[in-house]
């Protein structure tokens, strides 16, 4: 089976019956084109992925960022975040990613941004979280993990528009309410 995740998606072989007869068609009682196996009839629905993460802060007003050591955007700074796994809540996923990417635990975890990015079929959720340990540090996914004062944030070297948006919302409004936004990219 060959799967390309992203805007376009295709399969070479059916994961159910191994047939190569997969075509794009609109199934009965549906209104969108899907990949449908012509051999076993399986319909492959593709839905948006959820990315979940944390904006970690401390009492000194500093924010923790990770320098990515993996593609995409290797070498750019980001908030710890990643794809939600099956069987976990968005908060569990955010805390797991924070531990995996920064060896960081957080407390007082609070949802504050939900960002829909329809053109890449992704939903981002970010929580604010108070830094709970001081032995955070680099990991296989992050070459550096560092605290930034607000006026030191490397805006030109941030990895993703969703990270920029989340930092801007936090600095402008704090985390007292949840922001539900749609990010439209220039095409």
17 binds Zn ion (CB under 5 A): yes
Segment contacting Zn ion by CB under 5 A, of 3-11, 30-38, 66-74, 151-159: 30-38
Nearest-angstrom CA–CA distance, 134 and 95: 16
Nearest-angstrom CA–CA distance, 131 and 84: 21
* Residue 3 vs 120, nearer CB to Zn ion: 3
Binder of Zn ion out of 40, 70, 150, 171 (CB under 5 A): 40
Cα separations in angstroms, 6 against 1, 10, 121, 160, 161: 16, 10, 7, 15, 17
**What does the longest C-alpha to C-alpha distance in the chain come to?**
61
Q: Could you tell me the smallest distance in angstroms from the CB atom of residue 41 to Zn ion?
A: 7
22 binds Zn ion (CB under 5 A): no
38 binds Zn ion (CB under 5 A): no
Nearest-angstrom CA–CA distance, 124 and 179: 11
Nearest-angstrom CA–CA distance, 163 and 102: 16
Per the CB < 8 A criterion, the answer to whether 9 and 36 are in contact is no
Q: Could you tell me the smallest distance in angstroms from the CB atom of residue 31 to Zn ion?
A: 23
66 binds Zn ion (CB under 5 A): no
* Residue 19 vs 58, nearer CB to Zn ion: 19
178 binds Zn ion (CB under 5 A): no
CA angle, residues 37, 40, 42, in degrees to nearest 5: 55
14 binds Zn ion (CB under 5 A): yes
26 binds Zn ion (CB under 5 A): no
37 binds Zn ion (CB under 5 A): yes
Q: Could you tell me the smallest distance in angstroms from the CB atom of residue 152 to Zn ion?
A: 54
Give the residues lining the site for Zn ion (CB under 5 A): 14, 16-17, 19, 37, 39-40, 42
């Amino acid at each position: 089976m060959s799967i390309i995740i992203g805007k376009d998606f295709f399969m070479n072989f059916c994961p159910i019956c191994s047939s190569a007869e997969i075509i794009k068609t609109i199934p009965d009682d549906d209104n969108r084109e899907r990949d449908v196996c012509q051999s076993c009839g399986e319909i492959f629905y593709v839905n948006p992925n959820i990315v979940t993460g944390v904006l970690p802060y401390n009492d000194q007003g500093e924010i923790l960022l990770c320098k990515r050591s993996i593609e995409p955007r290797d070498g750019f700074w980001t908030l710890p975040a990643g794809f939600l796994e099956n069987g976990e809540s968005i908060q569990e996923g955010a805390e797991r990613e924070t531990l995996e990417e920064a060896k960081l635990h957080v407390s007082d975890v609070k949802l504050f941004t939900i960002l829909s990015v329809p053109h890449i079929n992704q939903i981002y959720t970010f929580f604010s979280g108070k830094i709970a340990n001081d032995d955070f540090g680099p990991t296989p996914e992050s070459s550096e993990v560092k605290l930034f004062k607000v006026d030191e944030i490397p805006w030109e070297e941030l990895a993703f528009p969703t990270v920029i948006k989340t930092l801007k919302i936090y600095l402008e409004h704090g985390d007292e309410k949840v922001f539900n936004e749609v990010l439209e990219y220039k095409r």
